[in-house]
Amino acid sequence: MTFDAFEKEMNRGFLQLLILMVLETPLYGYMIIKAVAGEGYEVEENSLYPLLRRLESKGFLESRWEIEDNKPRKYYVISQPGRRLRARLMEIWELQHRVIAKFKRGTGDG
């Protein structure tokens, strides 16, 4: 497994949580990419769009198509089950963060 594969694997869970947080406000795909890029995090198209569909198909996101400026845009927003999932994922993320911070001190990685 290359570094890229490890990175992709690590980003997958993070991206799920990030999307569930960002979509408190309805946004379409390109807006999500721009919003997240503004914070210095790059999301690739082939990670974002399939993930949006998977979360939608499991009921964690809702969507609607809108025509704006003659362009069809698919807006996504978090659903009630999505908020429950987000709360659970946040607990996991906070626990992971604490555990990593604790053990990082012993690695000498700074």
Partner 1 sequence: MAKRLEDYLRRVGSYLADEDREEILLEIRTHILERAGSRGEPTAEEVDRVLDDMPPPRAMAASYSEGQEIIAPELRNFLFLYTGILFAVHLGLTVVASIAGTTLALFPFFYAPATHRLSSILLFLPFAFVFDFGLVSLFSLPSASGLPI
Q: Does residue 60 bind partner 1 (CB under 8 A)?
A: no
Please report how close the Cβ of residue 16 comes to partner 1 at its closest, in angstroms.
Answer: 12
Q: Which residue has the tokens 């198209």?
A: 45
Please report how close the Cβ of residue 74 comes to partner 1 at its closest, in angstroms.
Answer: 5
Residue number with CB closer to partner 1 (22 or 74): 74
Q: Does residue 41 bind partner 1 (CB under 8 A)?
A: no
Residue number with CB closer to partner 1 (1 or 101): 1
Beta strands in the chain (DSSP E): 27-28, 61-68, 71-78
Q: Distance between CA 89 and CA 17 in Å, rounded?
A: 7
Binding partner 1 (rule: CB under 8 A), the pick from 73, 81, 89, 93 is: 73
Q: Distance between CA 85 and CA 76 in Å, rounded?
A: 16
CB–CB of 28/49 below 8 Å? no
Binding partner 1 (rule: CB under 8 A), the pick from 6, 14, 30, 41 is: 30
At a CB cut-off of 8 Å and minimum separation 6, what does 42 contact?
A: 36
Interface residues with partner 1 (CB under 8 A) are 28-30, 44-47, 49-50, 53-54, 71-74
